[in-house]
Structure 1
Amino acid sequence: MADLWQNAMDHGVALARRAGEVVREALLTDREVMTKSCSVDLVTQTDQKVEQLIIQSVREKYPTHRFIGEESVAAGEACVLTDEPTWIIDPIDGTTNFVHAFPFVAISIGFSVKKQIEFGVVYSCLEDKMFTARRGKGAFCNGEAIQVSGQTDVHQSIIATEFGSSRETDVVDKIFSSLRKVLCIPVHGVRGAGTAAINMCLVACGSVEAYYETGLHVWDIAAGAVIVTEAGGVLLDTEGGALDLMSRRIVAANSRIIAERIVKEIDPFSPTRDDAPPTL
Protein backbone atom coordinates (compact mmCIF):
# COMPACT_ATOMS: atom_id res chain seq x y z
CA MET A 1 0.00 0.00 0.00
CA ALA A 2 3.02 2.29 0.39
CA ASP A 3 2.90 3.70 -3.13
CA LEU A 4 -0.87 4.02 -2.95
CA TRP A 5 -0.65 6.19 0.15
CA GLN A 6 2.13 8.25 -1.42
CA ASN A 7 -0.14 8.87 -4.41
CA ALA A 8 -2.94 9.83 -2.04
CA MET A 9 -0.61 12.23 -0.24
CA ASP A 10 0.50 13.80 -3.52
CA HIS A 11 -3.17 14.27 -4.37
CA GLY A 12 -3.74 15.87 -0.95
CA VAL A 13 -0.88 18.33 -1.53
CA ALA A 14 -2.25 19.29 -4.95
CA LEU A 15 -5.73 19.77 -3.47
CA ALA A 16 -4.36 21.91 -0.63
CA ARG A 17 -2.67 24.18 -3.19
CA ARG A 18 -5.90 24.50 -5.18
CA ALA A 19 -7.82 25.23 -1.99
CA GLY A 20 -5.25 27.85 -1.02
CA GLU A 21 -5.87 29.65 -4.29
CA VAL A 22 -9.61 29.69 -3.54
CA VAL A 23 -8.93 31.12 -0.07
CA ARG A 24 -6.57 33.81 -1.31
CA GLU A 25 -9.03 34.85 -4.00
CA ALA A 26 -11.91 34.92 -1.50
CA LEU A 27 -9.90 37.18 0.81
CA LEU A 28 -10.10 39.81 -1.89
CA THR A 29 -13.74 39.31 -2.84
CA ASP A 30 -15.96 37.33 -0.47
CA ARG A 31 -15.80 36.92 3.30
CA GLU A 32 -19.50 36.67 4.06
CA VAL A 33 -19.73 35.35 7.62
CA MET A 34 -22.16 32.97 9.27
CA THR A 35 -22.04 31.37 12.72
CA LYS A 36 -22.27 27.78 13.91
CA SER A 37 -22.40 26.83 17.61
CA CYS A 38 -22.20 30.39 18.94
CA SER A 39 -21.55 33.99 17.91
CA VAL A 40 -17.76 33.49 17.84
CA ASP A 41 -17.77 30.10 16.08
CA LEU A 42 -17.57 31.40 12.53
CA VAL A 43 -18.01 29.80 9.13
CA THR A 44 -17.93 31.31 5.66
CA GLN A 45 -19.12 30.18 2.26
CA THR A 46 -15.44 29.69 1.44
CA ASP A 47 -15.10 27.02 4.18
CA GLN A 48 -17.98 25.13 2.60
CA LYS A 49 -16.73 25.65 -0.96
CA VAL A 50 -13.22 24.41 -0.11
CA GLU A 51 -14.48 21.33 1.72
CA GLN A 52 -16.74 20.43 -1.21
CA LEU A 53 -13.84 20.88 -3.62
CA ILE A 54 -11.59 18.54 -1.61
CA ILE A 55 -14.21 15.86 -0.94
CA GLN A 56 -15.48 15.80 -4.51
CA SER A 57 -11.99 15.42 -5.94
CA VAL A 58 -11.00 12.68 -3.48
CA ARG A 59 -14.29 10.84 -4.00
CA GLU A 60 -13.68 10.73 -7.76
CA LYS A 61 -10.17 9.32 -7.28
CA TYR A 62 -10.81 7.10 -4.23
CA PRO A 63 -14.52 6.24 -4.22
CA THR A 64 -14.29 3.80 -1.29
CA HIS A 65 -12.57 6.21 1.11
CA ARG A 66 -14.38 7.83 4.02
CA PHE A 67 -14.37 11.46 5.19
CA ILE A 68 -14.53 13.50 8.35
CA GLY A 69 -14.94 17.14 7.34
CA GLU A 70 -15.55 20.08 9.65
CA GLU A 71 -18.42 21.49 7.62
CA SER A 72 -19.94 18.06 6.92
CA VAL A 73 -20.06 17.36 10.66
CA ALA A 74 -21.52 20.83 11.27
CA ALA A 75 -24.24 19.93 8.76
CA GLY A 76 -25.13 16.82 10.74
CA GLU A 77 -22.89 14.02 9.50
CA ALA A 78 -21.48 11.68 12.15
CA CYS A 79 -17.87 12.15 13.26
CA VAL A 80 -16.71 8.54 13.34
CA LEU A 81 -13.15 7.35 12.83
CA THR A 82 -13.13 3.75 11.58
CA ASP A 83 -10.34 1.46 10.35
CA GLU A 84 -11.20 2.41 6.77
CA PRO A 85 -8.99 4.89 4.86
CA THR A 86 -10.34 8.26 6.02
CA TRP A 87 -9.61 11.83 4.95
CA ILE A 88 -9.90 14.25 7.89
CA ILE A 89 -10.38 17.75 6.52
CA ASP A 90 -10.41 21.25 7.94
CA PRO A 91 -11.06 23.38 4.85
CA ILE A 92 -10.06 26.62 6.60
CA ASP A 93 -8.31 26.23 9.94
CA GLY A 94 -8.37 29.76 11.23
CA THR A 95 -11.73 30.92 9.90
CA THR A 96 -11.78 33.85 12.33
CA ASN A 97 -8.33 34.83 11.06
CA PHE A 98 -9.63 34.57 7.49
CA VAL A 99 -12.64 36.78 8.27
CA HIS A 100 -10.34 39.46 9.69
CA ALA A 101 -7.51 38.96 7.14
CA PHE A 102 -5.20 37.97 10.01
CA PRO A 103 -2.43 36.29 8.05
CA PHE A 104 -2.46 32.72 9.44
CA VAL A 105 -4.97 30.57 7.58
CA ALA A 106 -4.45 26.89 6.80
CA ILE A 107 -5.93 24.06 4.80
CA SER A 108 -5.48 20.91 6.90
CA ILE A 109 -5.78 17.41 5.41
CA GLY A 110 -5.01 14.32 7.47
CA PHE A 111 -5.34 10.73 6.26
CA SER A 112 -5.84 7.77 8.57
CA VAL A 113 -5.88 4.01 8.08
CA LYS A 114 -6.79 1.69 10.96
CA LYS A 115 -7.21 4.83 13.10
CA GLN A 116 -3.55 5.77 12.60
CA ILE A 117 -2.61 8.96 10.77
CA GLU A 118 -0.59 7.96 7.71
CA PHE A 119 0.10 11.44 6.35
CA GLY A 120 -0.67 15.07 7.00
CA VAL A 121 -0.76 18.15 4.80
CA VAL A 122 -1.03 21.66 6.27
CA TYR A 123 -0.89 24.53 3.80
CA SER A 124 -0.45 27.94 5.39
CA CYS A 125 -1.83 29.55 2.29
CA LEU A 126 -1.21 33.24 3.02
CA GLU A 127 2.44 32.48 3.86
CA ASP A 128 2.68 29.94 1.00
CA LYS A 129 4.17 27.35 3.36
CA MET A 130 3.34 23.71 2.62
CA PHE A 131 3.96 21.43 5.61
CA THR A 132 3.88 17.70 4.88
CA ALA A 133 4.68 14.48 6.69
CA ARG A 134 4.25 10.80 6.01
CA ARG A 135 4.48 8.26 8.83
CA GLY A 136 8.05 7.01 9.03
CA LYS A 137 9.30 9.38 6.33
CA GLY A 138 10.02 12.68 8.14
CA ALA A 139 8.43 16.13 8.08
CA PHE A 140 8.97 18.92 5.59
CA CYS A 141 8.14 22.56 4.85
CA ASN A 142 8.20 23.46 1.15
CA GLY A 143 10.24 20.32 0.58
CA GLU A 144 12.91 21.09 3.19
CA ALA A 145 13.24 18.76 6.20
CA ILE A 146 12.12 20.27 9.51
CA GLN A 147 12.68 19.25 13.10
CA VAL A 148 11.58 20.33 16.54
CA SER A 149 13.57 22.61 18.81
CA GLY A 150 16.31 21.02 20.90
CA GLN A 151 15.50 23.22 23.89
CA THR A 152 14.91 21.15 27.06
CA ASP A 153 14.70 24.03 29.57
CA VAL A 154 11.07 25.10 29.82
CA HIS A 155 12.20 28.49 31.16
CA GLN A 156 13.85 29.15 27.79
CA SER A 157 10.75 28.14 25.84
CA ILE A 158 7.89 29.75 23.93
CA ILE A 159 4.54 28.03 24.42
CA ALA A 160 1.59 28.33 22.02
CA THR A 161 -2.07 28.09 22.98
CA GLU A 162 -5.50 29.35 21.97
CA PHE A 163 -8.61 30.54 23.81
CA GLY A 164 -11.15 28.56 21.77
CA SER A 165 -14.72 29.52 20.90
CA SER A 166 -16.45 28.75 24.20
CA ARG A 167 -17.43 31.79 26.26
CA GLU A 168 -18.84 29.79 29.18
CA THR A 169 -17.46 31.29 32.39
CA ASP A 170 -16.16 28.05 33.90
CA VAL A 171 -14.38 27.09 30.66
CA VAL A 172 -12.82 30.55 30.28
CA ASP A 173 -11.73 30.46 33.94
CA LYS A 174 -9.87 27.17 33.39
CA ILE A 175 -8.26 28.45 30.19
CA PHE A 176 -6.99 31.58 31.92
CA SER A 177 -5.91 29.71 35.05
CA SER A 178 -3.81 27.37 32.90
CA LEU A 179 -2.44 30.30 30.91
CA ARG A 180 -1.41 32.16 34.07
CA LYS A 181 0.34 29.10 35.49
CA VAL A 182 2.18 28.35 32.23
CA LEU A 183 3.27 31.99 31.88
CA CYS A 184 4.50 32.06 35.50
CA ILE A 185 6.65 28.90 35.23
CA PRO A 186 8.11 31.30 33.91
CA VAL A 187 8.47 30.75 30.16
CA HIS A 188 9.91 33.18 27.62
CA GLY A 189 6.46 33.87 26.23
CA VAL A 190 3.06 32.58 25.16
CA ARG A 191 1.90 32.91 21.55
CA GLY A 192 -0.96 31.79 19.36
CA ALA A 193 -1.36 31.86 15.57
CA GLY A 194 -5.14 31.44 15.76
CA THR A 195 -5.05 28.01 14.10
CA ALA A 196 -4.26 24.66 15.69
CA ALA A 197 -2.70 23.30 12.50
CA ILE A 198 -0.22 26.16 12.18
CA ASN A 199 0.56 26.12 15.92
CA MET A 200 1.46 22.43 15.57
CA CYS A 201 3.62 23.19 12.54
CA LEU A 202 5.39 25.86 14.60
CA VAL A 203 6.26 23.12 17.09
CA ALA A 204 7.41 20.87 14.25
CA CYS A 205 9.76 23.45 12.76
CA GLY A 206 11.24 24.51 16.10
CA SER A 207 9.70 27.99 16.43
CA VAL A 208 7.83 27.13 19.64
CA GLU A 209 8.58 24.37 22.13
CA ALA A 210 5.00 23.32 22.86
CA TYR A 211 1.37 23.93 22.02
CA TYR A 212 -1.60 22.98 24.17
CA GLU A 213 -5.35 23.46 23.81
CA THR A 214 -8.67 22.04 24.98
CA GLY A 215 -11.87 22.32 22.93
CA LEU A 216 -10.50 21.87 19.44
CA HIS A 217 -11.56 19.05 17.06
CA VAL A 218 -10.06 16.04 15.28
CA TRP A 219 -9.95 17.94 11.96
CA ASP A 220 -7.87 20.68 13.63
CA ILE A 221 -5.12 18.30 14.74
CA ALA A 222 -5.09 15.18 12.52
CA ALA A 223 -2.65 16.49 9.90
CA GLY A 224 -0.53 18.39 12.43
CA ALA A 225 -0.20 15.33 14.65
CA VAL A 226 1.88 13.34 12.17
CA ILE A 227 3.86 16.45 11.19
CA VAL A 228 4.86 16.97 14.85
CA THR A 229 5.84 13.35 15.48
CA GLU A 230 7.73 13.02 12.20
CA ALA A 231 9.67 16.18 13.12
CA GLY A 232 10.74 14.47 16.36
CA GLY A 233 8.06 15.81 18.69
CA VAL A 234 5.63 14.16 21.11
CA LEU A 235 1.85 14.26 21.56
CA LEU A 236 0.03 13.90 24.88
CA ASP A 237 -3.39 14.39 26.35
CA THR A 238 -3.73 17.42 28.66
CA GLU A 239 -3.70 15.03 31.63
CA GLY A 240 -0.48 13.39 30.47
CA GLY A 241 -1.72 10.19 28.85
CA ALA A 242 -1.56 9.25 25.19
CA LEU A 243 -3.24 11.58 22.70
CA ASP A 244 -6.81 10.57 21.82
CA LEU A 245 -7.70 12.20 18.51
CA MET A 246 -11.38 12.39 19.48
CA SER A 247 -10.92 13.82 23.00
CA ARG A 248 -10.55 17.48 21.88
CA ARG A 249 -7.49 17.88 24.13
CA ILE A 250 -3.85 18.07 23.09
CA VAL A 251 -0.31 18.88 24.15
CA ALA A 252 2.17 18.86 21.26
CA ALA A 253 5.78 19.46 22.24
CA ASN A 254 9.36 19.15 21.10
CA SER A 255 10.11 16.61 23.86
CA ARG A 256 8.49 14.58 26.61
CA ILE A 257 10.33 16.72 29.18
CA ILE A 258 8.65 19.93 28.00
CA ALA A 259 5.29 18.23 27.38
CA GLU A 260 5.09 16.77 30.88
CA ARG A 261 6.12 20.08 32.44
CA ILE A 262 3.31 21.89 30.62
CA VAL A 263 0.80 19.19 31.59
CA LYS A 264 1.50 19.97 35.26
CA GLU A 265 0.17 23.52 34.81
CA ILE A 266 -3.00 22.73 32.86
CA ASP A 267 -6.40 22.76 34.58
CA PRO A 268 -7.92 19.91 32.57
CA PHE A 269 -11.54 19.72 31.53
CA SER A 270 -13.39 17.45 29.12
CA PRO A 271 -15.51 18.90 26.30
CA THR A 272 -18.02 16.65 24.58
CA ARG A 273 -16.01 14.16 22.53
CA ASP A 274 -16.04 14.44 18.74
CA ASP A 275 -17.32 10.88 18.46
CA ALA A 276 -20.04 11.25 21.11
CA PRO A 277 -23.50 10.22 19.87
CA PRO A 278 -25.74 13.21 19.13
CA THR A 279 -28.03 14.30 21.97
CA LEU A 280 -31.73 14.00 21.19
Structure 2
Amino acid sequence: MADWTSYLNFGISIAKQASEIVLTAFHQQKEVTLKSSPADLVTETDQRVEKILISAIRNQYPQHRFIGEESVAAGERVELTDSPTWIIDPIDGTVNFVHRFPFVAISIAFSVNKQTEFGIVYSLVEDKMFHAQRGRGAFLNGQPLHASGQEDINRCVVVTEIGAERDDLALSTMTTNIFRLLKLPVHGVRALGTAAVDMCQVATGGADAYYHIGMHCWDIAASAIIVQEAGGVVMDTDGSKFDMMSRRVIAASSTAVAHHISQVIQAFPCRRDDEDPSKCVCGATGVNGLS
Protein backbone atom coordinates (compact mmCIF):
# COMPACT_ATOMS: atom_id res chain seq x y z
CA MET A 1 0.00 0.00 0.00
CA ALA A 2 1.37 3.41 -0.99
CA ASP A 3 2.05 5.88 1.80
CA TRP A 4 0.05 9.06 1.22
CA THR A 5 0.79 10.55 4.66
CA SER A 6 2.74 13.54 3.33
CA TYR A 7 -0.15 14.34 0.96
CA LEU A 8 -2.61 14.05 3.84
CA ASN A 9 -0.54 16.38 6.01
CA PHE A 10 -0.34 18.87 3.16
CA GLY A 11 -4.13 18.74 2.76
CA ILE A 12 -4.66 19.35 6.48
CA SER A 13 -2.24 22.29 6.34
CA ILE A 14 -3.98 24.04 3.45
CA ALA A 15 -7.43 23.37 4.94
CA LYS A 16 -6.35 25.18 8.10
CA GLN A 17 -4.90 28.05 6.10
CA ALA A 18 -8.06 28.41 3.98
CA SER A 19 -10.24 28.27 7.10
CA GLU A 20 -8.88 31.64 8.18
CA ILE A 21 -10.51 33.23 5.13
CA VAL A 22 -13.81 31.51 5.84
CA LEU A 23 -13.78 32.42 9.54
CA THR A 24 -13.01 36.06 8.76
CA ALA A 25 -15.94 36.20 6.34
CA PHE A 26 -18.25 34.19 8.63
CA HIS A 27 -19.27 37.20 10.73
CA GLN A 28 -19.41 39.64 7.81
CA GLN A 29 -22.22 40.53 5.43
CA LYS A 30 -22.10 38.30 2.33
CA GLU A 31 -22.93 38.80 -1.31
CA VAL A 32 -25.06 35.77 -2.15
CA THR A 33 -25.73 34.33 -5.60
CA LEU A 34 -28.25 31.63 -6.44
CA LYS A 35 -27.14 28.60 -8.42
CA SER A 36 -29.76 26.03 -9.43
CA SER A 37 -32.47 26.79 -6.87
CA PRO A 38 -33.41 29.45 -4.30
CA ALA A 39 -31.86 27.19 -1.64
CA ASP A 40 -28.65 26.48 -3.61
CA LEU A 41 -26.38 29.35 -2.62
CA VAL A 42 -22.85 30.43 -3.42
CA THR A 43 -20.77 33.30 -2.08
CA GLU A 44 -17.56 34.96 -3.22
CA THR A 45 -15.85 33.16 -0.34
CA ASP A 46 -16.81 29.71 -1.71
CA GLN A 47 -15.23 30.59 -5.04
CA ARG A 48 -12.18 32.26 -3.54
CA VAL A 49 -11.40 29.40 -1.15
CA GLU A 50 -11.68 26.77 -3.89
CA LYS A 51 -9.29 28.72 -6.10
CA ILE A 52 -6.80 29.05 -3.21
CA LEU A 53 -6.96 25.34 -2.39
CA ILE A 54 -6.57 24.22 -6.00
CA SER A 55 -3.75 26.70 -6.61
CA ALA A 56 -1.85 25.49 -3.53
CA ILE A 57 -2.25 21.83 -4.52
CA ARG A 58 -1.35 22.47 -8.16
CA ASN A 59 1.84 24.27 -7.12
CA GLN A 60 2.81 21.28 -4.97
CA TYR A 61 1.55 18.50 -7.25
CA PRO A 62 1.28 19.91 -10.80
CA GLN A 63 0.21 16.60 -12.40
CA HIS A 64 -2.80 16.03 -10.13
CA ARG A 65 -6.42 16.45 -11.17
CA PHE A 66 -9.32 18.16 -9.39
CA ILE A 67 -13.07 17.92 -8.85
CA GLY A 68 -14.33 21.07 -7.13
CA GLU A 69 -17.89 22.15 -6.37
CA GLU A 70 -17.52 25.66 -7.71
CA SER A 71 -15.50 24.56 -10.74
CA VAL A 72 -18.32 22.18 -11.65
CA ALA A 73 -20.87 24.96 -11.08
CA ALA A 74 -18.85 27.03 -13.56
CA GLY A 75 -19.20 24.32 -16.20
CA GLU A 76 -16.40 21.79 -15.66
CA ARG A 77 -17.25 18.12 -16.06
CA VAL A 78 -17.00 15.69 -13.15
CA GLU A 79 -14.50 13.06 -14.23
CA LEU A 80 -12.90 10.65 -11.78
CA THR A 81 -9.98 8.83 -13.42
CA ASP A 82 -7.17 6.64 -12.14
CA SER A 83 -4.97 9.74 -11.83
CA PRO A 84 -4.41 11.29 -8.38
CA THR A 85 -7.47 13.47 -7.89
CA TRP A 86 -8.43 15.97 -5.16
CA ILE A 87 -12.18 16.26 -4.52
CA ILE A 88 -12.92 19.60 -2.89
CA ASP A 89 -15.87 21.33 -1.27
CA PRO A 90 -14.54 24.75 -0.21
CA ILE A 91 -17.52 25.49 2.04
CA ASP A 92 -19.85 22.63 2.87
CA GLY A 93 -22.82 24.29 4.48
CA THR A 94 -23.02 27.51 2.48
CA VAL A 95 -26.53 28.25 3.74
CA ASN A 96 -25.18 27.89 7.29
CA PHE A 97 -22.26 30.16 6.37
CA VAL A 98 -24.59 32.84 4.99
CA HIS A 99 -26.77 32.75 8.11
CA ARG A 100 -23.87 32.32 10.58
CA PHE A 101 -25.21 28.94 11.73
CA PRO A 102 -22.06 27.41 13.21
CA PHE A 103 -21.67 24.21 11.18
CA VAL A 104 -19.46 25.00 8.21
CA ALA A 105 -16.74 22.74 6.83
CA ILE A 106 -13.94 22.48 4.33
CA SER A 107 -13.96 19.00 2.81
CA ILE A 108 -11.02 17.51 0.90
CA ALA A 109 -10.69 13.93 -0.37
CA PHE A 110 -7.83 12.37 -2.33
CA SER A 111 -8.39 9.52 -4.78
CA VAL A 112 -5.98 7.32 -6.74
CA ASN A 113 -7.16 4.61 -9.15
CA LYS A 114 -10.72 5.71 -8.33
CA GLN A 115 -10.20 4.73 -4.67
CA THR A 116 -10.27 7.29 -1.88
CA GLU A 117 -6.97 7.22 -0.02
CA PHE A 118 -7.72 9.86 2.60
CA GLY A 119 -10.34 12.38 3.64
CA ILE A 120 -10.23 15.64 5.57
CA VAL A 121 -13.27 17.44 7.02
CA TYR A 122 -12.54 20.59 8.99
CA SER A 123 -15.56 21.90 10.87
CA LEU A 124 -13.93 25.24 11.29
CA VAL A 125 -16.25 27.19 13.57
CA GLU A 126 -16.04 24.28 16.03
CA ASP A 127 -12.31 23.85 15.30
CA LYS A 128 -12.81 20.13 14.75
CA MET A 129 -10.42 18.49 12.31
CA PHE A 130 -11.62 15.06 11.16
CA HIS A 131 -9.32 12.96 9.01
CA ALA A 132 -8.78 9.38 7.94
CA GLN A 133 -6.33 7.50 5.77
CA ARG A 134 -7.22 4.17 4.22
CA GLY A 135 -6.18 1.34 6.51
CA ARG A 136 -4.89 3.67 9.23
CA GLY A 137 -7.97 4.71 11.20
CA ALA A 138 -10.01 7.87 11.66
CA PHE A 139 -9.25 10.77 13.98
CA LEU A 140 -10.74 13.93 15.44
CA ASN A 141 -8.14 16.50 16.48
CA GLY A 142 -5.64 13.65 16.71
CA GLN A 143 -7.81 11.34 18.85
CA PRO A 144 -9.06 8.01 17.42
CA LEU A 145 -12.68 7.80 16.31
CA HIS A 146 -15.00 4.83 16.70
CA ALA A 147 -18.53 4.40 15.39
CA SER A 148 -21.09 3.35 17.99
CA GLY A 149 -21.55 -0.20 16.67
CA GLN A 150 -25.29 0.09 17.34
CA GLU A 151 -27.27 -2.66 15.60
CA ASP A 152 -30.80 -1.89 16.83
CA ILE A 153 -32.51 0.64 14.56
CA ASN A 154 -34.98 1.50 17.33
CA ARG A 155 -32.12 2.85 19.46
CA CYS A 156 -30.58 5.03 16.76
CA VAL A 157 -30.16 8.74 16.24
CA VAL A 158 -30.31 9.32 12.49
CA VAL A 159 -28.96 12.37 10.69
CA THR A 160 -30.25 13.56 7.32
CA GLU A 161 -30.83 16.74 5.31
CA ILE A 162 -33.61 18.28 3.29
CA GLY A 163 -31.04 19.71 0.88
CA ALA A 164 -31.66 22.24 -1.88
CA GLU A 165 -34.31 20.30 -3.79
CA ARG A 166 -37.68 22.01 -3.71
CA ASP A 167 -39.73 20.24 -6.37
CA ASP A 168 -42.80 18.37 -5.17
CA LEU A 169 -41.44 14.86 -5.74
CA ALA A 170 -38.17 15.49 -3.91
CA LEU A 171 -39.85 17.21 -0.97
CA SER A 172 -42.58 14.59 -0.59
CA THR A 173 -40.02 11.77 -0.78
CA MET A 174 -37.73 13.37 1.79
CA THR A 175 -40.48 14.14 4.27
CA THR A 176 -42.03 10.69 3.82
CA ASN A 177 -38.64 9.10 4.55
CA ILE A 178 -38.36 11.03 7.80
CA PHE A 179 -41.95 10.07 8.72
CA ARG A 180 -41.19 6.37 8.13
CA LEU A 181 -38.07 6.47 10.28
CA LEU A 182 -39.85 8.25 13.13
CA LYS A 183 -42.63 5.66 13.01
CA LEU A 184 -40.25 2.68 13.38
CA PRO A 185 -39.41 4.39 15.77
CA VAL A 186 -35.85 5.70 15.93
CA HIS A 187 -34.71 7.76 18.92
CA GLY A 188 -34.54 10.91 16.80
CA VAL A 189 -33.74 12.57 13.48
CA ARG A 190 -31.24 15.45 13.31
CA ALA A 191 -29.83 17.82 10.68
CA LEU A 192 -26.81 20.13 10.91
CA GLY A 193 -26.90 21.60 7.41
CA THR A 194 -23.60 20.18 6.16
CA ALA A 195 -23.38 16.68 4.71
CA ALA A 196 -19.69 16.32 5.54
CA VAL A 197 -20.13 17.14 9.23
CA ASP A 198 -23.39 15.16 9.38
CA MET A 199 -21.62 12.02 8.23
CA CYS A 200 -18.70 12.58 10.58
CA GLN A 201 -21.15 12.36 13.49
CA VAL A 202 -21.50 8.67 12.65
CA ALA A 203 -17.72 8.30 12.89
CA THR A 204 -17.75 9.88 16.37
CA GLY A 205 -20.52 7.58 17.63
CA GLY A 206 -22.65 10.64 18.39
CA ALA A 207 -25.08 9.56 15.68
CA ASP A 208 -25.76 6.00 14.56
CA ALA A 209 -26.68 6.65 10.93
CA TYR A 210 -26.78 9.24 8.20
CA TYR A 211 -28.56 9.09 4.86
CA HIS A 212 -29.11 11.55 2.07
CA ILE A 213 -30.30 11.69 -1.52
CA GLY A 214 -29.24 14.53 -3.80
CA MET A 215 -25.88 15.53 -2.35
CA HIS A 216 -22.73 15.48 -4.52
CA CYS A 217 -19.43 13.62 -4.49
CA TRP A 218 -17.59 16.62 -3.00
CA ASP A 219 -20.04 16.67 -0.07
CA ILE A 220 -19.29 13.12 1.07
CA ALA A 221 -16.08 11.75 -0.49
CA ALA A 222 -13.96 12.73 2.52
CA SER A 223 -16.46 11.84 5.23
CA ALA A 224 -17.19 8.42 3.69
CA ILE A 225 -13.65 7.19 4.32
CA ILE A 226 -13.72 8.77 7.78
CA VAL A 227 -16.81 6.71 8.66
CA GLN A 228 -15.33 3.53 7.20
CA GLU A 229 -12.03 3.94 9.03
CA ALA A 230 -13.96 4.56 12.28
CA GLY A 231 -15.55 1.12 11.90
CA GLY A 232 -18.81 2.22 10.29
CA VAL A 233 -20.30 1.13 6.98
CA VAL A 234 -21.20 3.14 3.89
CA MET A 235 -23.55 1.97 1.14
CA ASP A 236 -26.08 3.13 -1.44
CA THR A 237 -29.60 3.89 -0.23
CA ASP A 238 -30.81 0.74 -2.03
CA GLY A 239 -28.38 -1.40 -0.02
CA SER A 240 -25.88 -1.87 -2.85
CA LYS A 241 -22.20 -0.89 -2.92
CA PHE A 242 -21.42 2.77 -2.22
CA ASP A 243 -20.80 4.86 -5.34
CA MET A 244 -19.84 8.44 -4.58
CA MET A 245 -21.12 9.57 -7.99
CA SER A 246 -24.64 8.18 -7.47
CA ARG A 247 -25.72 11.02 -5.15
CA ARG A 248 -27.20 8.52 -2.69
CA VAL A 249 -25.64 7.37 0.57
CA ILE A 250 -26.24 5.64 3.87
CA ALA A 251 -23.51 5.75 6.51
CA ALA A 252 -24.17 3.73 9.63
CA SER A 253 -22.81 2.22 12.82
CA SER A 254 -23.39 -1.31 11.52
CA THR A 255 -24.46 -3.23 8.45
CA ALA A 256 -27.70 -4.16 10.23
CA VAL A 257 -28.69 -0.53 10.76
CA ALA A 258 -27.66 0.48 7.23
CA HIS A 259 -29.73 -2.30 5.64
CA HIS A 260 -32.73 -1.51 7.85
CA ILE A 261 -32.66 2.11 6.69
CA SER A 262 -32.28 1.02 3.05
CA GLN A 263 -35.50 -0.98 3.40
CA VAL A 264 -37.42 1.98 4.83
CA ILE A 265 -36.39 4.97 2.73
CA GLN A 266 -36.91 5.69 -0.96
CA ALA A 267 -34.84 7.74 -3.39
CA PHE A 268 -36.06 10.29 -5.91
CA PRO A 269 -34.41 10.58 -9.36
CA CYS A 270 -31.00 12.31 -9.43
CA ARG A 271 -28.62 12.74 -12.33
CA ARG A 272 -25.28 11.14 -11.47
CA ASP A 273 -22.40 13.51 -10.85
CA ASP A 274 -20.36 11.95 -13.64
CA GLU A 275 -23.20 11.83 -16.14
CA ASP A 276 -22.96 14.02 -19.24
CA PRO A 277 -25.75 16.62 -18.85
CA SER A 278 -26.25 16.68 -22.63
CA LYS A 279 -27.16 12.98 -22.54
CA CYS A 280 -29.38 13.17 -19.46
CA VAL A 281 -32.96 11.98 -19.96
CA CYS A 282 -33.92 12.13 -16.28
CA GLY A 283 -35.52 15.56 -16.39
CA ALA A 284 -34.95 18.37 -13.93
CA THR A 285 -35.84 16.45 -10.79
CA GLY A 286 -33.21 16.28 -8.11
CA VAL A 287 -30.35 18.06 -9.87
CA ASN A 288 -29.52 20.19 -6.89
CA GLY A 289 -27.45 19.29 -3.89
CA LEU A 290 -26.81 20.43 -0.36
CA SER A 291 -25.17 23.84 -0.30
- Give the TM-score taking structure 1 as reference length: 0.98
**SS of the residue 1:84 aligns to:** coil
Instruction: Say yes or no: does 1:259 pair with 2:258.
Output: yes
Any conservation in 1 of the 2:158–2:186 contact (CA below 8 Å)? Answer: yes
* Letter of the structure 2 residue corresponding to residue 151 of structure 1: Q
Instruction: Say yes or no: does 1:81 pair with 2:80.
Output: yes
User: Which residue matches 1:194?
Assistant: 193
* Letter of the structure 2 residue corresponding to residue 158 of structure 1: V
User: Which residue matches 1:38?
Assistant: 37
Deviation of 1:179 after TM superposition, in Å, equals 0.8
Partner Cα distance (1:205, 1:219) in 2: 21
Name whichever of 31-40 and 240-249 sits farther off: 31-40
Deviation of 1:153 after TM superposition, in Å, equals 1.4
Partner Cα distance (2:112, 2:24) in 1: 33
Partner Cα distance (2:103, 2:137) in 1: 24
Name whichever of 28-37 and 185-194 sits farther off: 28-37
Any conservation in 1 of the 2:81–2:114 contact (CA below 8 Å)? Answer: yes
User: Which residue matches 1:215?
Assistant: 214
Partner Cα distance (1:181, 1:265) in 2: 7
Name whichever of 26-35 and 54-63 sits farther off: 26-35
* Letter of the structure 2 residue corresponding to residue 13 of structure 1: I
**SS of the residue 2:202 aligns to:** helix
User: Which residue matches 2:249?
Assistant: 250
Count of aligned positions: 279
Any conservation in 2 of the 1:203–1:228 contact (CA below 8 Å)? Answer: yes
Partner Cα distance (1:240, 1:207) in 2: 23
Could you report, residue by residue, the CA deviation over 1:238-273 in whole angstroms, capped at 9, with x for unpaired residues?
A: 111001110000000011000011111111223011
Could you report, residue by residue, the CA deviation over 1:37-69 in whole angstroms, capped at 9, with x for unpaired residues?
A: 111100000000110010000000000000000
User: Which residue matches 2:97?
Assistant: 98
Any conservation in 2 of the 1:247–1:270 contact (CA below 8 Å)? Answer: no
Partner Cα distance (1:213, 1:227) in 2: 17
User: Which residue matches 2:47?
Assistant: 48
**SS of the residue 1:162 aligns to:** coil
* Letter of the structure 1 residue corresponding to residue 10 of structure 2: H
Partner Cα distance (1:30, 1:110) in 2: 30
Runs of 4+ in 1 over 4 A off after TM superposition: none
* Letter of the structure 1 residue corresponding to residue 179 of structure 2: R
User: Which residue matches 2:2?
Assistant: 2
Instruction: Say yes or no: does 1:151 pair with 2:126.
Output: no
Deviation of 1:30 after TM superposition, in Å, equals 4.3
Partner Cα distance (2:95, 2:26) in 1: 12
Give the % identical residues.
54
Partner Cα distance (1:268, 1:92) in 2: 25
Partner Cα distance (1:254, 1:223) in 2: 17
* Letter of the structure 2 residue corresponding to residue 2 of structure 1: A
- Give the TM-score taking structure 2 as reference length: 0.94
Q: Which runs of 5+ in 1 are unaligned?
A: none
User: Which residue matches 1:273?
Assistant: 272
Deviation of 1:25 after TM superposition, in Å, equals 0.3
Deviation of 1:154 after TM superposition, in Å, equals 1.2
* Letter of the structure 2 residue corresponding to residue 206 of structure 1: G
Q: Which runs of 5+ in 2 are unaligned?
A: 280-291
Aligned CA-pair RMSD: 1.0
User: Which residue matches 1:29?
Assistant: 28
Could you report, residue by residue, the CA deviation over 1:135-186 in whole angstroms, capped at 9, with x for unpaired residues?
A: 0000000000011012221111100000010110011111111110011110
**SS of the residue 1:12 aligns to:** helix
Any conservation in 2 of the 1:89–1:219 contact (CA below 8 Å)? Answer: yes
**SS of the residue 2:276 aligns to:** coil
